């Protein structure tokens, strides 16, 4: 709590500096994990970015990290003469982007926590929870920061149109949130199946490499496990609710968007869906009436 | 701390690395085999392929708005004095009944001397969004039936419905029983109060009003996405892995492409019809309860008194047996038969195994109930003469 208050009271450049340092630390640890994770020789602990072990092609992240460091060292240590237009612009951008930094801090914290745990994800804690937390943080951040701006009362002649435009943006975000949550739910059986195969492979590993001769058997295990988990998920209340939420969000978004487009089209010589639907309805009723009359005439003729 | 973390990550990745190494070793070990596979696959994919569907020759004999009536050209002497009208669902296309020579229900019927008519619902556009169930059943189907009866100068015809088309046929038969001699329903849902299919579960949770407001007509792609989600592991992954495994087999590839053509040829669903179908059938289950009203008239299943053959698939995941097996107990017919085949929703029409049961069973059943029909061996083959469809003979407003 105190830390958060302290962070809020920090000047923006200090905030940025601390974030840069944290980023550097993150990339350092990522760089040292990379070779270990993908089968190479791990670099000396803590040496990344400090010369020595990260020289040559062994550290593919070195160049990226150095560019990153250089860029930020330039940005966070402005030269004398702060009244320079570039500096003013820079200050302005910092103010504008403060909510982004705050949000990014939260995201990075979540990510680091996930990496810190570093446990084999044989349960579902891994992707499911982390991804959901990140999604929630992103969209909560939007709701708290930018979403509020869209809800500001609009004034004047264009008030209605501006409100519709804002509503469309808001509904789009709601739809994206619902869709992301829905897709995350759909990915859960896939991860469960991967975990099942991972466990299976580890068991084979204990028996020796010869036990792993047939990759197709592992594929079959994966697809079968995935199918079973999908069958459970697709019948669950959770899935039906997520599907319902997504469809509702899609409906609200498309309706707002159509309204917005109709506003835009009304000044152009282009008929809108509303115009066409009215016409189609009249046509439908007329044809129905003609057909009924045609039948009556035929019956009189007989 | 850091070393510990590295070790943990290494531990997680080790099995995958080992599996990867083995797969790579296997692939490299079978280089010659892999080369041959790739060469054959290239030859198959780059060669001309026969993937046309619905090639049995027909004439369009009646047209009304987007709806067409196909009349298949007889390939032998007509042995059934009453023609058969087939009504397909509005989901996907009727071409499934004529997927390819040798796997065609239409071809089987023609070879047996049945005069076959089939409704092609066409592709609804936005102007069709106000068309209701009443317009389809008491409008288009009734007009097609009247046309066929007048053309043959007969009072009744045989009616066969496929899936949702079967439900339409059931409703039509209750409202116009005097025009139907025999009724055949295949994979036809009549009871919607079941959780045996995911479709039933999802449809009950859907808000059709919102969907109609969102899209107008319901896009075929949305419907297809829903069908794929019924079993994503098999339909979106395993199916294509199977394709890759057999991509060097030309027959397999041709059959696969034909099926893909049919599956993803999905017309949109007219908005009002969709709204009514979801609300009155899936949500309220009014048909089997005899509480449905279409065009202001109650649909009373007891009015179905003609012979009825009801065929469904034991492994149907779209229209499960529970959705089909109550129907015959609710109708007024005395001559009625349920037949549950050991197959699925599509397999009932296209699988080689079912081809030997499904078509011949219908032919036998119709022959026995047609009156004055000549006995025929269902397996009798007469080669079809392929010509392009002729232009429409009659067109309505």
Alpha-carbon distance A23 to A76, whole Å? 14
Identify all chain A residues contacting B11, using CB atoms and an 8 Å cutoff. 120
A215 with B22: Cβ contact below 8 A = yes
The parts of chain B modelled with pLDDT lower than 70 are 1-29, 372-397
Distances from the Cα of A89 to the Cαs of A11, A94, A161, A249, in angstroms? 16, 9, 31, 38
Please, are residues B174 and B310 in contact by the beta-carbon 8 Å criterion?
Answer: no
A284 with B130: Cβ contact below 8 A = yes
Query: Which helix (H) or strand (E) segment is B151 a member of?
Result: helix B142-152
pLDDT in tens, B107-160: 999 999 999 999 999 999 999 999 999 999 999 999 999 999 999 999 999 999
Please, are residues B192 and B170 in contact by the beta-carbon 8 Å criterion?
Answer: no
Contact map slice: B 187-206 vs A, CB within 8 A:
195, 198, 201-202, 205-206
A38 with B2: Cβ contact below 8 A = no
Length of chain A in terms of residues written: 302
Give the E-state strand segments of B314-389 in sequence order. 336-341
pLDDT for B9 equals 54
Identify all chain A residues contacting B3, using CB atoms and an 8 Å cutoff. 45
pLDDT for B70 equals 98
- Residue B135, chain A, CB below 8 Å: the answer is yes
Contact map slice: B 171-190 vs A, CB within 8 A:
none
Alpha-carbon distance A136 to A142, whole Å? 10
B218 DSSP assignment: B
List helix spans (H) across chain A: 2-9, 12-37, 62-76, 85-117, 130-144, 146-150, 159-207, 215-234, 237-265, 273-301
pLDDT for B376 equals 44
A201 with B18: Cβ contact below 8 A = yes
Task: Give how far the C-alpha of residue B393 lies from the chain's centroid of Cα atoms, to the nearest Å.
Answer: 27
Please, are residues B98 and B258 in contact by the beta-carbon 8 Å criterion?
Answer: no
Return the sign of the alpha-carbon dihedral for residues B243, B248, B249, B255.
positive
Distance linking the first and last C-alpha atoms of chain A: 90
A136 CB contacts (<8 Å, ≥6 apart)? none
pLDDT, chain B, mean:
88
Distances from the Cα of A61 to the Cαs of A31, A124, B5, in angstroms? 6, 30, 19
Tokens found for residue B137: 């059943």
pLDDT in tens, A244-255: 999 999 999 999
Distances from the Cα of A85 to the Cαs of A11, A82, A94, in angstroms? 20, 8, 14
Pairing of strands B308-313, B98-100: unpaired
The answer to whether residue A49 sits within a structural domain is: no
Query: Which helix (H) or strand (E) segment is B224 a member of?
Result: helix B220-228
Query: Which helix (H) or strand (E) segment is B370 a member of?
Result: helix B358-370
The answer to whether residue A212 sits within a structural domain is: no
B390 DSSP assignment: B
pLDDT in tens, A94-117: 655 665 666 666 666 666 665 555
pLDDT for A99 equals 58
Please, are residues B396 and A298 in contact by the beta-carbon 8 Å criterion?
Answer: no
pLDDT in tens, B62-87: 999 999 999 999 999 999 999 999 99
Residues A17 and A144 in one domain: yes
A235 with B201: Cβ contact below 8 A = yes
Tokens found for residue B2: 């850091």
B322 CB contacts (<8 Å, ≥6 apart)? B191, B194, B196
Q: To 10 degrees, the CA torsion angle through A7, A10, A13, A19?
A: -20
CA of A259: which chain B residue's CA is closest? B214
B50 DSSP assignment: -
Distance between B67 CA and the closest CA of chain A, angstroms? 15
Q: What angle do CA A24, A29, A35 make, to 5 degrees?
A: 130
Identify all chain B residues contacting A231, using CB atoms and an 8 Å cutoff. 231
A211 DSSP assignment: G
B207 with A247: Cβ contact below 8 A = yes
pLDDT for A120 equals 46
B17 with A202: Cβ contact below 8 A = no
Nearest Cβ partner of A227 from B129, B205, B231?
Answer: B231
**Domain map of chain B by residue range?**
58-219+268-396
B364 CB contacts (<8 Å, ≥6 apart)? B378
Please, are residues A122 and A174 in contact by the beta-carbon 8 Å criterion?
Answer: no
Nearest Cβ partner of B214 from A36, A250, A284?
Answer: A250
pLDDT for B378 equals 42
Is residue A146 very low, low, confident or very high in pLDDT (cuts 50, 70, 90)?
A: confident
Identify all chain A residues contacting B17, using CB atoms and an 8 Å cutoff. 38-39
The answer to whether residue A204 sits within a structural domain is: no
Alpha-carbon distance B190 to B251, whole Å? 37
Query: Which helix (H) or strand (E) segment is B117 a member of?
Result: strand B116-120
Residues A280 and A148 in one domain: no
Please, are residues B115 and B153 in contact by the beta-carbon 8 Å criterion?
Answer: no
Nearest Cβ partner of A243 from B23, B130, B205?
Answer: B205
Residues of B with catalytic roles:
163
Nearest Cβ partner of A240 from B8, B17, B205?
Answer: B205
pLDDT for A126 equals 53
Please, are residues A246 and A174 in contact by the beta-carbon 8 Å criterion?
Answer: no
Distance between A98 CA and the closest CA of chain B, angstroms? 32
Q: Which residue has the higher pLDDT, A144 or B70?
A: B70
CB-side exposure of B231: number of CA atoms within 13 Å?
A: 13
Mapping DSSP to helix (H, G, I), strand (E, B) and coil, where does residue B385 land?
coil
Identify all chain B residues contacting A42, using CB atoms and an 8 Å cutoff. 6, 10
Nearest Cβ partner of A33 from B9, B131, B213?
Answer: B9
A28: left (phi over 0), alpha (psi -120 to 50) or beta: alpha
B81 CB contacts (<8 Å, ≥6 apart)? B154, B370, B371, B372, B373
Task: Give how far the C-alpha of residue B51 lies from the chain's centroid of Cα atoms, to the nearest Å.
Answer: 19
Alpha-carbon distance B111 to B345, whole Å? 24
Alpha-carbon distance A193 to A229, whole Å? 8
Query: Which helix (H) or strand (E) segment is B119 a member of?
Result: strand B116-120
Picking from A76-90, A181-195, B46-60, which range would have the lowest pLDDT averaged per residue? Answer: A76-90
Nearest Cβ partner of B210 from A202, A212, A247?
Answer: A247
Identify all chain A residues contacting B245, using CB atoms and an 8 Å cutoff. none
B161 DSSP assignment: E
Query: Which helix (H) or strand (E) segment is B214 a member of?
Result: helix B208-215
Split into its structural domains, chain A has a count of: 2
Distance linking the first and last C-alpha atoms of chain B: 81
B275 DSSP assignment: H
Mapping DSSP to helix (H, G, I), strand (E, B) and coil, where does residue B380 land?
coil
Distance between A193 CA and the closest CA of chain B, angstroms? 10
- Mean pLDDT within A167-190: 92
Q: Domain span at residue A296?
A: 271-302
Q: Which residue has the higher pLDDT, B49 or A130?
A: B49
Q: Is the pLDDT score of A57 beyond 50?
A: no
Q: Is the pLDDT score of A19 beyond 80?
A: no
Domain B58-219+268-396 has CATH 3.40.50.1820: yes
pLDDT for A49 equals 38
Identify all chain B residues contacting A280, using CB atoms and an 8 Å cutoff. 126-127, 129-130
Distances from the Cα of B7 to the Cαs of A37, A45, A209, B11, in angstroms? 9, 12, 21, 6
Alpha-carbon distance B311 to B338, whole Å? 6
pLDDT, chain A, mean:
72
Q: Which residue has the tokens 């850091």?
A: B2
């Amino acid at each position: 709590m105190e830390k958060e208050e302290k962070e809020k009271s920090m000047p923006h450049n200090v905030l940025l500096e601390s974030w840069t340092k944290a980023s550097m630390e993150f990339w350092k640890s990522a760089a040292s994990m990379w070779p270990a994770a993908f089968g190479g020789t791990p670099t000396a602990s803590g040496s990344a970015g400090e010369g020595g072990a990260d020289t040559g092609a062994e550290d593919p992240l070195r160049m990226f990290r150095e560019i990153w460091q250089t860029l930020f060292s330039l940005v966070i240590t402005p030269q004398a003469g702060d009244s320079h237009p570039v500096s003013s612009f820079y200050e302005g951008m910092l103010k504008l982007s403060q909510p982004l930094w705050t949000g990014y801090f939260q995201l990075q914290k979540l990510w680091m926590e996930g990496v810190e745990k570093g446990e084999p994800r044989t349960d579902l804690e891994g992707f499911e929870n982390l991804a959901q937390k990140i999604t929630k943080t992103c969209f909560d951040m939007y709701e708290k920061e930018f979403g509020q701006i869209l809800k500001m009362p609009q004034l004047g002649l264009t008030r209605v149109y501006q409100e519709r435009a804002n509503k469309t943006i808001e509904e789009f975000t709601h739809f994206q949130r619902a869709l992301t949550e829905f897709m995350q739910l759909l990915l859960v059986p896939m991860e469960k199946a991967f975990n099942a195969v991972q466990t299976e492979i580890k068991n084979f590993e204990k028996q020796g490499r010869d036990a792993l001769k047939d990759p197709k058997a592992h594929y079959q295990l994966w697809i079968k496990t995935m199918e079973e988990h999908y069958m459970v998920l697709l019948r669950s209340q959770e899935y039906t609710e997520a599907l319902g939420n997504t469809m509702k969000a899609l409906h609200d978004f498309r309706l707002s968007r159509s309204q917005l487009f109709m506003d835009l089209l009304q000044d152009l010589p282009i008929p809108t869906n509303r115009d066409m639907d009215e016409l189609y309805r009249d046509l439908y009723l007329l044809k129905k009436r003609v057909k009924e009359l045609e039948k009556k005439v035929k019956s009189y003729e007989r | 701390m850091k070393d510990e973390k590295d070790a943990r990550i290494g531990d997680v990745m080790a099995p995958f690395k080992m599996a990867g190494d083995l797969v790579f070793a296997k692939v490299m070990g079978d280089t010659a085999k892999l080369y041959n596979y790739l060469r054959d696959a290239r030859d198959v994919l780059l060669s001309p392929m026969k993937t046309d569907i619905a090639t049995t020759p027909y004439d369009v004999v009646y047209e009304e708005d987007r709806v067409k009536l196909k009349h298949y050209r007889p390939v032998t002497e007509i042995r059934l004095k009453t023609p058969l009208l087939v009504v397909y669902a509005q989901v996907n296309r009727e071409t499934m009944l004529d997927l390819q020579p040798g796997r065609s229900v239409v071809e089987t019927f023609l070879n047996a001397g049945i005069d076959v008519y089939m409704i092609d619902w066409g592709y609804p556009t936005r102007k069709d969004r106000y068309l209701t169930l009443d317009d389809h059943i008491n409008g288009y189907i009734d007009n097609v039936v009247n046309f066929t009866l007048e053309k043959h100068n007969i009072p009744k015809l045989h009616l066969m419905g496929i899936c949702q088309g079967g439900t339409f046929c059931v409703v039509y038969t209750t409202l116009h029983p005097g025009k139907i001699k025999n009724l055949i329903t295949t994979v036809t849902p009549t009871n919607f109060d079941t959780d045996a299919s995911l479709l039933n579960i999802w449809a009950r949770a859907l808000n059709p009003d919102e969907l109609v407001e969102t899209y107008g007509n319901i896009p075929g792609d949305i419907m297809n996405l829903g069908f794929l989600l019924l079993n994503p592991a098999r339909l979106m992954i395993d199916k294509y892995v199977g394709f890759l495994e057999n991509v060097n087999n030309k027959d397999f590839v041709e059959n696969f492409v034909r099926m893909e053509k049919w599956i993803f040829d999905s017309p949109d669903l007219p908005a009002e019809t969709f709204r009514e179908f979801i609300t009155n059938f899936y949500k309220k289950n009014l048909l089997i309860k005899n509480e449905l009203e279409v065009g202001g008239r109650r649909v009373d299943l007891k009015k179905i008194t003609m012979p009825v053959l009801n065929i469904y698939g034991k492994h149907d995941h779209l229209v499960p047996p529970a959705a089909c097996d109550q129907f015959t107990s609710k109708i007024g017919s005395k001559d009625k038969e349920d037949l549950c085949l050991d197959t699925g929703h599509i397999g009932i029409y296209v699988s080689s195994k079912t081809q030997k049961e499904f078509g011949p069973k219908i032919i036998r059943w119709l022959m026995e109930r047609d009156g004055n029909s000549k006995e025929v061996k269902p397996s009798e083959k007469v080669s079809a003469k392929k010509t392009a469809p002729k232009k429409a003979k009659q067109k309505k407003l």
